[in-house]
Structure 1
């Protein structure tokens, strides 16, 4: 019984470590924390009237691609949903 419990704990710890190390891919249209930080000012300036959800903010930022800051443009190009 004790050996089974120790084995179960070892599996759970290993699984938790593996999950913590693998980065989660953002869902389609989801804005990551890095993208939010890079584009917050551009969002407020160009897309403040856009209702969040359904990828609308991300689409607005992409539509204004030539007007966003260099940092936001770079973050948008690296964003892979």
Structure 2
């Protein structure tokens, strides 16, 4: 079922955190990335300047040099990971509340790129109350 596949992707994302940013709404992932970029400016310039951004490569670079990170960068990275964890827990909650609606209205919609969220938005008037509530609250929380 699509909802179960989406749930597995979200759980895997939670475990790999920064490696699957595409699971997270663009505005939320941008704020997490900017927060880490700002707190780790020097380390990014020194250790990760030649790393191509995307697919968690920057995060992996910082993790590879974790023994050389300043306290400020460590704190920024940990705070960013915490932000992402909260975001992914929110996404997982919506998946749990909307599982049957995702299966009914979004079957065949590819996972990723916010397509499931777009599908739920398009079908908002048909969604079960639990799904509507969770989805609406998540949209507010993730702005």
- Normalised to the residue count of structure 1, the TM-score between the two structures is 0.63
Deviation at 1:23, TM superposition (A): 5.2
Unaligned ranges ≥5, structure 2:
1-70
Q: Which residue of 2 aligns with 1:61?
A: 120
Q: Which residue of 2 aligns with 1:36?
A: 95
Deviation at 1:49, TM superposition (A): 1.1
Q: Which residue of 2 aligns with 1:4?
A: none
Q: Structure 1 runs of 4+ off > 6 angstroms? A: none
When the two chains are superposed, the root-mean-square deviation of aligned CA atoms in Å is: 2.4
- The number of residues matched between the two structures is 61
Deviation at 1:26, TM superposition (A): 2.4
Deviation at 1:77, TM superposition (A): 1.0
Q: Which residue of 1 aligns with 2:19?
A: none
The whole-number CA distance in structure 1 between the counterparts of 2:111 and 2:83 is 24
The whole-number CA distance in structure 1 between the counterparts of 2:110 and 2:129 is 24
Q: Which has the higher helix share?
A: 2
- Normalised to the residue count of structure 2, the TM-score between the two structures is 0.37
Deviation at 1:63, TM superposition (A): 0.7
Q: Which has the larger radius of gyration?
A: 1
